[in-house]
């Protein structure tokens, strides 16, 4: 499982330190990669099956443009991914719709609700990633979302299917 934590502010850096302490208490095999002053990647050493090189390279010597879109909203997600890639996005965060995204603002909540109403779910998102890769999307794709859908899908299955689809990592 990969967890990206944004640590742009000193306060968040302190919170990240506490997250490190808690994470190591529960999972001593946890490894943390500091890719840039603003990005920390957590991954379990025994589950390091994603190649983080492409993501790390986005942060070498310059800021990276990271874009977000909810999978399935609007319906034309793959053309939007192409527009983001063509527009210079270094990394694209692809949101997995969730029924109760209370930590997000009203815009993402609405996008989630519409995507779910359109029948988008975790298998749909993985198919979308496969189709996006087949259509020429080459930038790193990070699945972003709540833990609940991933747990319901099955952690091991999620990691295996995501990797096979062409996902570069998770933001949970």
Q: Which residues are catalytic?
A: 93, 104
Residue owning tokens 């833990």: 147
Which run of H or E residues covers position 16? helix 10-26
| 126/94 Cα distance (integer angstroms) | 10
How does DSSP classify residue 74? Answer: S
CB-based contacts of 5: which residues, under 8 Å, 6+ apart?
12, 16, 19, 39, 40, 42
Q: Which two tokens stand for residue 98?
A: 């969730």
């Amino acid at each position: 499982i990969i967890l990206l934590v944004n640590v742009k502010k000193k306060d968040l850096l302190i919170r990240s330190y506490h997250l490190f302490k808690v994470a190591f208490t529960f999972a001593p095999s946890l490894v943390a990669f500091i890719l840039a002053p603003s990005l920390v990647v957590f991954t379990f050493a025994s589950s390091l099956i994603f190649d983080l090189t492409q993501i790390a390279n986005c942060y070498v010597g310059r800021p990276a443009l990271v874009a977000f879109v909810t999978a399935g909203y609007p319906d034309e997600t793959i053309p939007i991914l192409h527009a983001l890639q063509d527009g210079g996005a270094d990394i694209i965060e692809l949101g997995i719709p969730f029924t109760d995204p209370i930590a997000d603002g009203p815009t993402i909540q609405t996008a989630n609700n519409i995507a779910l109403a359109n029948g988008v779910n975790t298998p749909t998102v993985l198919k979308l990633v496969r189709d996006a890769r087949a259509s020429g999307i080459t930038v790193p794709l990070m699945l972003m979302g709540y833990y609940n859908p991933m747990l319901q899908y099955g952690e091991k299955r999620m990691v295996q299917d995501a990797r096979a689809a062409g996902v570069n990592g998770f933001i949970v």
